[in-house]
Amino acid sequence: ELEDLLSSYPVPWPKADAVPEKCFIGCPHLSLQQLHWWTKKITGALQKQNRNQLPVNTTICAAPQVLAKFKENNEAYELLKSTGARCSVGCPMQIFDNDLSAGEAIITNSNKLRAYTTVRFFPDEELVDIITSGRIREGAAR
């Protein structure tokens, strides 16, 4: 049933086969546990692909208090930062309010962001693969 729902989502990009330029994770904002999960998944996937940096410009969003707590664990924060991922206290929806990203190939794990903008939704595990490989595999969810 979930597969049917995912496959029903339209591809909102002018070029359906475009290479993802940006990724926004955390709308609504991520929890501390989720920040650690994403750090582990991103760094692990990069290691498997013999990469150090994310090929997709990635922004991870968390509330100010959560991000401050995450930064207290300097090792985890520096590890995530070393991948090229950026942390933000802003909400991805704000970026789309002023059309700054109009026409760009942007991906997300947020169904909320997908519903109100022109970004493509992917489940977390697929998103990890896309942001660490730089490509959307054939047959991936929409």
Give residue-wise pLDDT tens across range 11-70.
778 888 899 999 999 988 999 999 999 999 999 999 999 999 999 999 999 999 999 999
Extents of the domains making up the chain: 2-133
**Position 86: which residue type?**
R
Which is more confident, 140 or 104?
Answer: 104
* CB atoms near residue 73 (< 10 Å): 14
Contact 60, 85 (CB under 8 A): yes
At residue 62, the pLDDT reads 97
Contact 35, 62 (CB under 8 A): yes
Q: What percent of the chain shows pLDDT beyond 70?
A: 91
Residue 99 binned pLDDT confidence (cut-offs 50, 70, 90): low
Name the residue with tokens 């760009």. Answer: 104
Q: Which of 45-49, 83-87, 138-142 shows the lowest per-residue confidence on average (mean pLDDT)?
A: 138-142
Mean pLDDT (whole number) for 82-109: 84
At residue 103, the pLDDT reads 78
Whole-angstrom Cα distance, residue 98 to residue 111? 20
Handedness of CA 96, 10, 16, 49 (dihedral sign): positive
At residue 100, the pLDDT reads 62
CATH of 2-133, one of 3.10.620.30, 3.30.499.10, 3.30.479.10, 3.40.50.10680: 3.30.499.10
Cα angle 45, 120, 18; round to 5: 80
